[in-house]
Amino acid sequence: GAVVSQHPSRVICKSGTSVKIECRSLDFQATTMFWYRQFPKKSLMLMATSNEGSKATYEQGVEKDKFLINHASLTLSTLTVTSAHPEDSSFYICSANSLEAESSYNEQFFGPGTRLTVL
Residues that bind other proteins (CB under 8 A): 1, 32, 34, 41-44, 46, 49, 93, 95, 97, 105-108, 110-113
Nearest approach, Cβ of 83 to other proteins (angstroms)?
A: 28
Pick 19 or 93: Cβ nearer other proteins: 93
**Shortest reach from residue 88's CB to other proteins, in Å:** 20
Least distance (Å) from other proteins to the CB of residue 6? 8
Instruction: Give the three-state DSSP class for 86.
Output: helix
- What is the DSSP secondary-structure string of 45-107? EEEEEEETTSPPEEPTT--TTTEEEEEEETTEEEEEE-S--GGG-EEEEEEEE-TTGGGT---
